[in-house]
Amino acid sequence: MTTGGAKSGTVYIVGAGPGDPDLITLRGQRLLSTADAVFYAGSLVPEGMLRWCRADALLVDTRTSTLEAILPHMFALIEAGKSIVRLHSGDPCLYGATHEQMAALLEAGVEFEIVPGISAFQAAAASLKVELTVPGLVQTIILTRTSGRTGMPESEELAALAAHRASLCLYLSARHARECEAKLLAHYPPDTPVAICYRLGWPDERIVRARLDQMAAVTRDEKLIRTTLYLISPALAATPARSRLYNPTHSHLFRPSQTAT
């Protein structure tokens, strides 16, 4: 566990959150503010996040780089005893191309740690002031994307996932909104609420609520082609419901029945 600043010779893969510079964990901020070098994709991570970096830190924008260019640069810095933060938007475990990076670090024997971040779907739920798991209505969240240039395993096709009618968080799909809508309509009712969330936490954030059968039209009208998260969920129109957890009629380990109030 990391409790102090960035250690020399280590790469910290840090989740930057969706956009707001202060939606990063304390640990992530501490590492950012002590690292010798920070690698970040300027197209995904807002410049404002770099305010946490040391004034003399080496800042490397990787938006036009390849892994083949990034890795030797990192290895040279590690060799020189520097500490590195590799910033990824949202949480690094989701659509961040971190798998191949970690494999290369492992192979090179470079120490690395991961610091989680807030993913776009969590930021969307917070902005919309909704719980995505409403008792009696929906208890499952699916995080997925459509197949663009990155193919999808057949068993994870959107139409198959739609059959669950879960709270579905659709990443990386704005360019394919029309086909996504068609596939989702195979199982969700046409009036299922959708929140179309563009650049959450950035100064030009836009959130449009629509029905599922309007999802593609809104995407087209709003000219959204990137950094858009779709939240498709009956929870967006939920009527008030009670969970058992705080219900006085329900007892549990920490609130036995005689103390229930």
Can you give the binding site for ligand SAM, defined by CB under 6 A?
18-19, 88-91, 94-96, 119-120, 171-172, 197, 199-201, 226-229
The H or E element spanning position 111 is: strand 111-115
Q: Which is nearer to ligand SAM, 200 or 236 (CB)?
A: 200
CB of 68 to ligand SAM, least distance (A): 19
β-partners of residue 163 are: none
Q: How far apart are the C-alpha atoms of 100 and 114, rounded to whole Å?
A: 14
Q: How far is the CB of 114 from ligand SAM (least distance, A)?
A: 12
Alpha helices in 109-257 (DSSP H): 120-128, 158-162, 177-184, 215-221
Cβ-based nearer residue to ligand SAM, 78 or 158: 158
Closest CB to ligand SAM among residues 28, 90: 90
249 burial level (CB within 10 Å; 0-12, 13-18, 19+): exposed
Closest distance between ligand SAM and the C-beta of residue 196, in Å? 9
Q: Which is nearer to ligand SAM, 34 or 89 (CB)?
A: 89
Q: Which of 36, 39, 29, 42 is nearest to 2 (CA)?
A: 29
Tokens, residue 80: 């020189």
Looking at the Cβ atoms of 40 and 171, the one nearer to ligand SAM is 171
Instruction: State which residue has the least CB distance to ligand SAM.
Output: 90
Can you read off the two tokens belonging to residue 29?
């901020």
Instruction: For the CB of residue 117, give the shortest distance to ligand SAM in the complex, in Å.
Output: 7
Q: In angstroms, what is the minimal distance from the CB of 109 to ligand SAM? A: 26
- Residue 170 CB, nearest approach to ligand SAM (Å): 7
Angle of helix 67-79 versus helix 98-108 axis, rounded to 10: 40
Length of the chain, in residues: 261
Residue 84 or 200: the one with the smaller Cβ distance to ligand SAM is: 200
Find the shortest distance in angstroms from Cβ 213 to ligand SAM.
21
Residue among 78 and 125 whose Cβ is closer to ligand SAM: 125
Separation in Å, CA 9 to CA 76, 85, 102: 10, 11, 15
- DSSP H helices in the chain: 26-32, 67-79, 98-108, 120-128, 158-162, 177-184, 215-221
